[in-house]
Amino acid sequence: MIEFLGEVVAWFTDPANWTGVNGIPNRMWEHIQMSVLATTAAAALAIPPAVYLGHRRKGGVIAVAGVNMARAIPSFAIVAISLPFSIRLGLGLGFWPTFIALFFLAVPPFFTNTYTAVAGVDDALVESGRGMGMTQPQVVRRIEIPVASPVILAAARVASVQVIATATLAALVAWGGLGRYIIDGFATQDSVQVFAGGLLVAGLAVVAELGFSAIERWWLPRGLREPSEDIARVAA
Amino acid sequence: MIELEHVSKTFPGQDVAAVGDLTFTIPEGESVVLVGPSGCGKTTTLKMINRLIEPTGGTITVAGRDVAQMEAHELRRGIGYVIQQIGLFPHRTIRDNIATVPKLLGWEKKRIQARVLELTDLVDLSEDMLTRYPSELSGGQRQRVGVARALAADPPVLLMDEPFGAVDPIVRTRLQDELVSLQARLNKTIVLVTHDIDEAIKLGDRVALLNIGGVLEQYAPPEELLRDPANAFVADFLGTDRGIKRLSLVPISQINLDPGPVLPRSAPVAEAREMMRRYQIDWAVVGGDGRIEGWFTENDIAGHDTLDRVHLLPFQTKLAATDSLQQALDAVISSHTAVAAVFDGERYLGMVTSEEISREIIE
Ligand SMILES: Nc1ncnc2c1ncn2[C@@H]1O[C@H](COP(=O)(O)OP(=O)(O)OP(=O)(O)O)[C@@H](O)[C@H]1O
Ligand SMILES: [Mg+2]
> pLDDT grade, residue B14 (50/70/90)?
very high
Predicted pLDDT of residue A135: 96
Distance separating alpha carbons of residues B229 and B220, to the nearest angstrom: 9
How far does the centroid of ligand 2 lie from the alpha carbon of residue B75, in Å?
21
The answer, yes or no, to whether residue A231 has pLDDT greater than 50, is no
Give the residues across from B268 on adjacent strands: B306
Distance, in Å, from the CA atom of A103 to the CA atom of A163, rounded to the nearest integer, reads 8
Compute the distance between CA of residue A101 and CA of residue A81 in angstroms, rounded to an integer.
9
Amino acid (1-letter code) at residue B132: R
Those residues whose C-beta lies under 8 Å from the C-beta of residue A230, and which sit 6 or more positions away, are A122, B85, B86, B88, B90, B134, B135, B142
Residues of A with CB under 8 A from a CB of B: 122, 124-125, 127-135, 138, 142-143, 146-147, 149, 221-224, 226, 228-231, 234
pLDDT interval class at B363 (50, 70, 90)? low
- State residue B110's pLDDT score: 96
Q: For residue A128, which residues of chain B lie inside 8 Å, CB to CB?
A: 81, 83, 86-88
- Kindly report the average pLDDT of chain B as a whole number: 91
**Whole-number Å distance between alpha carbons of B116 and B103:** 11
Which of these ranges, A17-21, A70-74, B61-65, B105-109, has the smallest mean pLDDT?
A: A70-74
pLDDT reading at B245 higher than 90: no
- What is the per-residue DSSP string for B10-54? --TT-SS-SEEEEEEEE-TT-EEEEE-STTSSHHHHHHHHTTSS-
Annotate A73-91 with DSSP letters as a single string.
Answer: S-HHHHHHHHHHHHHHTT-
Distance A122 CA to ligand 2 centre (A): 17
ipTM: 0.83
pLDDT at B331: 87
pLDDT tens sequence across B69-117:
999 999 999 999 999 999 999 999 999 999 999 999 999 999 999 999 9
3-state secondary structure of A1: coil
B305 band by pLDDT with thresholds 50, 70 and 90: confident
pLDDT at A216 over 60: yes
Reply yes or no on whether the pLDDT at A102 is more than 60: yes
Is residue B7 a contact partner of residue B45, using CB atoms and an 8 Å limit? Answer: yes
Per-residue confidence (pLDDT) for residue A230, from 0 to 100: 42
Q: Which of the listed CATH numbers 3.10.20.30, 2.40.30.20, 1.25.40.80, 1.10.3720.10 matches domain A2-235? A: 1.10.3720.10
Residues B201-226 have pLDDT tens digits of: 999 999 999 999 999 999 999 999 99
Average pLDDT over residues A138-166: 94
For residues A64 and A38, the model is more confident at A38
Q: Sheet harboring B318-320: ordered strands across?
A: B318-320, B339-344, B347-353
Q: Which of residues 65-124 of B touch A (CB under 8 A)?
A: 73-78, 81, 83, 85-93, 100-101, 104
Q: Mean pLDDT score of chain A, rounded to an integer? A: 87
CB proximity list for B171: less than 8 A, separation 6 or greater: B139, B140, B143, B164
In angstroms and rounded to an integer, the radius of gyration of the C-alpha atoms of chain A is 21
A174-186 tens-digit pLDDT:
788 899 999 999 8
Give how far Cα B103 sits from Cα of A93, A127, A147, B144, B148, Å. Answer: 53, 18, 19, 20, 14
**A100 Cβ neighbours under 8 A, 6+ residues apart:** A78, A79, A82, A86
Q: Look at residue B54 and tell me whether its pLDDT is greater than 80.
A: yes
Report field, pTM of the whole predicted structure over 0.80:
yes
Q: What's the average model confidence in pLDDT over B112-124?
A: 94
pLDDT > 70 in chain B, percent: 100
